Amino acid sequence: MEAYLDNSATTPICPEAFNAVTEALTSNWGNPSSLYRKGIEAEAVRESARRSLAGRLGCESGEVFFTSGGTESNNIAVLGAAEAQKRFGRRIIVSSVEHASIDEAVKFLETRGFEIIRLPVDSQGRVPEDRIFRAVNQGTILVSLMAVNNEVGTLQPLEAVRQAVVSSRSRALIHCDAVQAFGKIDVKPSAMGVDLMSVSAHKIHGPKGAGALYVRGGLKKEKNGVRVLPVMYGGTQESSLRPGTEPMPAIAGFGAAVNALPPVSASLERINLLRQRLVCGLETVDGIEFNSPPDALPYVTNISVVGYESENLINFLSERGIYVSSGSACGKGKKSRVLKNMGLGDDRVSSALRISLSRYTAPEHIDMLIYGLRDARNFLRTKK
């Protein structure tokens, strides 16, 4: 038996998504932009997937635009919104613990003369609400804050962002990276006061290569719509926001994975029980420090095995068929920026492990990890 516990990096594809991908590869392989029957059939699959995603997000189909994944969605949202909004100001606000696809995008904008405000987080990885209110002013054009942190599971105060924008009378757009939240908690952008939202297929047991960006109002097709400029050119697909032939097998799988998602409440109840088992087991292992806050999304638990290098622990566990990570897959080989910004010392950062669960995680997988960590402490040398 293997224990795959790195579901924040990617998830195993569910049978429904696998079957949809296979059909799109072998039978319904037309280009959805073609006008003949094969194209029309592919278009029907694409629009069915769009409707499924819109239904889960509680929005209109015309507000959903397919991309290649969360990174591209984040880049389009940040770069496209900044370009469209720059006539109103130059201030962009993000947290200091955003995903690399946000962090690198705003670094680029900084070289183009935009003012980037990086809000610090507290020891729980959360942005203090008063910092948000102090940072947002009338010159703010974009606030981007993730719903759930991908390394420690902290939920961010998105409601405070909307309140700050309204109270400052700013024309700022609000973008939410919901890649780690979608399918695990209810994320309804309109109810959350969010203008732009990024989601991804392979975090919900869909295929890699498909994601989506919610755009309120569908690119100003409605009076209250949002203006976002494209960052790529060369076609009219996805209303020219994301040009290029759509990856139909991935999109078909995305739609099927969305349809296969169980109710959020039932999943959370089960995951909470698994997390309780995990926490109780970890508390029996000497030297474990918890980096995730107690109220983190239960799908993600970040710990440090103080005195042991993360890489050595990961390799030791991997040899036993137990798979965890030291942080974001996009930050491979680098020390966690998230943990450092939470104020953790080098000993905690260098020995950190991220354990992330999914609906396919079983109690036996949790037990394998606990036994594996106990063995690791007995067999591995502590760092000097």
Catalytic residues: 330
Q: Give me the residue label for tokens 């029309």.
A: 40
Name the one residue in this structure whose structure tokens are 């909307």.
162
Within 8 A by CB and 6+ apart from 242, the residues are: 65, 66, 67, 72, 76, 213, 230, 232
CA nearest neighbour of 305 among 371, 359, 353? 353
Longest dimension (CA), the chain: 68
Query: Which residue in 228, 244, 226, 297 sits closest to 79, CA to CA?
Result: 228
Name residue 175's beta-bridge partners. Answer: 144, 196
**CB 252, CB 20: distance < 8 Å:** yes
Phi, psi angles (nearest 5°) of residue 255: -60, -40
The one-character DSSP state at 62 is G
Q: Which residues contact 36 (CB under 8 A, 6 or more apart)?
A: 30
DSSP for 84-119? HHTTT--EEEEETT--HHHHHHHHHHHHTT-EEEEE
Judge whether 144 and 114 are in contact, CB under 8 Å. no
Can you spell out the DSSP letters for 238-275?
GGGTS-S---HHHHHHHHHHHHHPPPHHHHHHHHHHHH
Tokens of 371: 């036994």
Specify the DSSP element, H or E, that contains 314: helix 310-318
**Which pairing describes strands 3-4 and 322-323: parallel, antiparallel, or unpaired?**
parallel
**What is residue 289's three-state secondary structure?**
strand
